[in-house]
């Protein structure tokens, strides 16, 4: 990356007052979360369980809980990266409007981002949710029970408990979409970090902000679907964890 781009990035972050941060898997690669999509990833060995099957079949619920159990300890023990940390610093500096994430790892919250400023579009692995009454619980005892009994846990109301991620075939929560869209309408700067911007409808969120005139920064290693979009102000190619934290440091020092 040339130094002119570094300066531009720092300057945009320095002048931004209502920043919308949009994040994908590329910001969590250094956190200990396994790669689900790679050649040795879990999707090469397992078929995803669709929501309708989870609700309709005990065998599907067992399969889903077994899949989630396999990744649970890695998610539980994952640690935020420098990227999560500097996003939290933007909040402390009163420059952060919202964090909209595609990630289910809960690491923004672990890094200190306020719940009220966080939209987890695809849900979170850090809680389980009753599919009947909506109450959420700490997953740990439910994973422990499932490991022991192989029986998918139930809520006290009788509803099925499911890790609070959005399953295949399950709609995103309308509250989350509305909160993300409202942030996109209010932002003066939107920064997409570590996302290929190829999963919809999540990827439409930064474009809503960009198309109404907010500056739009895209940082990712590898191509994204917004490359070449005329609304992109600055496109940086490379590791987000290398590129983004120093720019935030620079912007907050000079801001
Ligand atoms: Zn319930």
Per-residue pLDDT tens over the stretch 63-109: 999 999 998 998 999 999 999 999 999 999 999 999 999 999 999 99
Note the pLDDT tens digit of each residue in 106-150: 999 999 999 999 999 999 999 999 999 999 999 999 999 999 999
CA angle (211, 215, 216) in 5-degree steps:
80
What's the pLDDT tens digit per position in 202-221?
A: 999 999 999 999 999 999 99
Distance of CA 23 to CAs 95, 146, 152, 184, Å? 17, 31, 31, 14
Give the Å distance between the CA of 154 and the centre of ligand 1. 8
Q: How far is the CA of 142 from the centre of ligand 1 (A)?
A: 14
CA of 119 from ligand 1 middle (Å) equals: 23
Beta strands 161-165 and 123-130 are antiparallel
* pLDDT of 37 strictly over 70: no
pTM: 0.94
Give the residue numbers marked as catalytic.
Answer: 122
Q: Residues lining ligand 1 (ion), CB within 5 A?
A: 130, 132-133, 155, 157, 159
Alpha carbon of 252 to ligand 1 centroid (Å) = 45
Distance 7 CA to ligand 1 centre (A): 51
C-alpha to C-alpha distances, 223 to 79, 85, 91, 101, 194, nearest whole angstrom: 26, 25, 28, 19, 10
């Amino acid at each position: 990356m040339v130094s002119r781009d570094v300066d531009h990035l720092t300057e945009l972050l320095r002048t931004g007052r209502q920043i919308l941060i949009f994040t994908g898997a590329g910001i969590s690669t250094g956190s200990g979360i396994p790669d689900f999509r790679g050649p040795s990833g879990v999707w090469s060995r397992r078929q995803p369980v669709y929501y309708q099957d989870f609700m309709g079949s005990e065998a599907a619920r067992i399969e889903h809980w077994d899949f989630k159990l396999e990744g649970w300890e890695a998610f539980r023990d994952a640690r935020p990266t420098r990227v999560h940390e500097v996003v939290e610093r933007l909040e402390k500096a009163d420059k952060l409007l919202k964090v909209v994430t595609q990630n289910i790892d809960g690491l923004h919250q672990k890094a200190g981002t306020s719940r009220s400023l966080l939209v987890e579009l695809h849900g979170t692995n850090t809680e389980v949710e009753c599919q009947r009454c909506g109450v959420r619980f700490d997953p740990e005892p439910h994973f422990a029970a499932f490991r022991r009994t192989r029986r998918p846990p139930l809520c006290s109301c009788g509803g099925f408990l499911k890790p609070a991620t959005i399953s295949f075939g399950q709609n995103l929560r309308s509250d989350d979409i509305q909160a993300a869209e409202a942030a996109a309408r209010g932002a003066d700067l939107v920064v997409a970090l570590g996302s290929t911007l190829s999963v919809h409808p999540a990827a439409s969120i930064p474009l809503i902000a960009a198309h109404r005139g907010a500056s739009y920064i895209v940082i990712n290693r590898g191509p994204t679907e917004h490359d070449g979009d005329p609304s992109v102000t600055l496109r940086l190619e490379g590791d987000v964890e290398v590129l983004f934290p120093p720019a935030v440091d620079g912007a907050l020092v000079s801001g």
